[in-house]
Chain A
Amino acid sequence: MSVAAPSASRRWPLRIVVLGYLAALVGLPVVYLFVKAFSSGFGAFWHEVSQPGSVGALELSAKIAAVVVPVNTIVGVAAALLLARRRFVGRRFLDLTFDVPIAVSPIIVGVALFFAYAERIGWFGPWLLHRGIMVIFSPLGIALASMAVSLPYVLRSVLPVLIEVGEVQESAARTLGAGPWRRFFTITLPAIRWGVLYGVTLTLARTLGEFGAVLIVSGNIQGKTQTLPIYIYDAWDQNYDALASYAGAVVLALISITALVVLSILRGRERKLHVNIA
């Protein structure tokens, strides 16, 4: 393929070193996860997965995702439209704000939410308490934490596509008298649909898997504020229940591998999509 491609004999050593490194660092742990989880048979695995604690955690994770993903999708697409098509004061600030949750440690995101909304110590804690709203140590806090950590994914997946597509067609539709909603649904959305789906997949995967930020705000109340990642941690940390934590980990791993497959299919559809999940 390239002019300077070294001869086959000289490629071998590096290939072996790289493949060995990847096998030891990634291959071994991932294979071991599945081997260990199914070592006592599929029945034992299924028994663990169908425990009330595990089912409850999966249910909460699904509910959180059902709220977080649509909200962050709308926010991401709206922000992408603003950043790609409009100039306004604070444009750069808006752009940067979306990357804050990526640059900042998830645990710091959790601590920050705590100091804004916790019952006594938080800025708005007393005000919220007075109105009977509990944010920290409740699913609401988990939703906020998940919204924060998955904030940039839709925007970062859609923005490059939106810039690439340009606004010629949109302008044409406007001069022909199409309203903003009609322009969005008939021209803009079809153009960015793979980008949106890509961002949605990333958002979903991150929301289901988030640990650090959720750990701080969840309070780890079984059946109430335990998402699946917190359940996995708790099963080992509190009960030394290796099987339960393993079964939960396999469920999460299967979800994320599915997400990876979806992402690679979407990348094939739209060559503009990079893995800038940074």
Chain B
Amino acid sequence: MRPLSAVGAVGGATLLVGYLSVVVLIPIAALAAHGLGISIDTHGQGFAFWDWSLHTNFAGFWHTVTQPTALQAIWLSLWLSLGVAALNAVAGIAIAWVLVRDEFPGKGLVEGVIDLPFALPTIVAGIVFLFLYGASSPVHLDLYETRTILFMALLFVTLPFSVRAVQPVLESLDGHAEAAARSLGASGFRTYRTIVLPSLLPAVLSGFGLAFARAIGEVGSLILVAGGLAHTTTASLLIYNLMQGPPSTQVEAASVSVALLVLSLVLLSSSSALSHHFSRRLTA
């Protein structure tokens, strides 16, 4: 690897940083500043920054995110996403197992089906769930405006994460250790618990983190089926509702966004840290 020296490379890197600033960095900074009530008052002094003063309004942020509506929405998002990610992790192991260790006609089709929820735009999933499990449900299951339908929609959109995380690891296990355990008299379940599961754990955890992050930020598949009840308003739907209002509620949307952002980053980084921890133990 060479150091960054040539004029072209330095110029390219500068352009790149500029692009990232416009598209990601500045917006996130602006969001955090509005959400936390941070602003700079120039007192009309122009560039005389030594005369500027910095204002913060953390109390306002805290007041917004601890309001009953905001708290309820954040809790709903948190528990839904944790539940969906957990069920997904279990289902993901089972699905990956069947895909790797089992042979049956039509397996290629099943492989394709796994990725479909990922490729399908989320609003398409939302429309289908609305009509399949809404008021005019052809299977006579009216789940409109219930938490059950939110859970099902999230389960749909996060399906590929844990399957695709676990599958390559399962493929790399050659089965020798399992065969040895079985020949030494270990039961099927014990073999699974002591040999297979520990090897899969890092992948399961990283799939869990990805599914959680996706679920907690999901909008498209939920917005139509959630209706307008407070009972089914997740944090991301609340953010959308607040953005429809005047600037004063838009600032509240920024505060809820900051809270949601922190929450998902904490969970994402702890699941990836745990995943690293277990994969290190595995190789040690």
Contacts and interface: CB of A to CB of B under 8 A. Distances in A.
Interface of A: 1-6, 10-11, 14-15, 17-19, 21-22, 25-30, 32-33, 36, 75, 78-79, 82, 84-88, 94, 97-98, 100-109, 111-117, 120-124, 144, 147-148, 151, 180, 205, 208-212, 215-216, 229, 232-233, 236-237, 242, 245-246, 249, 252-253, 256-257, 259-260, 263-264, 274-275, 277-278
Given A87-B4, A112-B31, A246 B127 contact: yes
Nearest to A206: B121
A75 B261 CA distance: 25
Interface string B92-129: 00110110011110000010111111111111111111
Nearest to A23: B113
Contacts of A237: 223-224
B239 A108 contact: yes
Contacts of B101: 1-2, 5-6, 11
Contacts of A105: 216-219, 236, 257, 260-261, 264
Nearest to B195: A4
Contacts of A275: 115, 118, 160, 164
B44 interface: no
Residue picked from B19, B127, B178, B236, most chain A C-beta under 10 Å: B127
Interface stretch (B7-15, B58-66, B273-281): B7-15
A22 B95 contact: yes
Interface string B229-253: 0000000100110010001001101
A86 B1 contact: yes
- DSSP class of A's interface residues: helix, strand, loop or mixed? helix
B243 A249 contact: no
A120 B247 CA distance: 9
A29 B120 CA distance: 11
A83 to B, nearest CB: 10
A21 B168 CA distance: 21
A97 B27 CA distance: 13
Given A236-B127, A249-B124, A82 B9 contact: yes
A107 B219 contact: yes
Contacts of B216: 105
A107 B236 contact: yes
Contact of B239 (A98, A107, A205): A107
Contact of A33 (B24, B27, B98, B128): B128
Contacts of B236: 105, 107-108, 212
Nearest to B258: A108
A267 to B, nearest CB: 10
Residue picked from A3, A32, A112, most chain B C-beta under 10 Å: A112
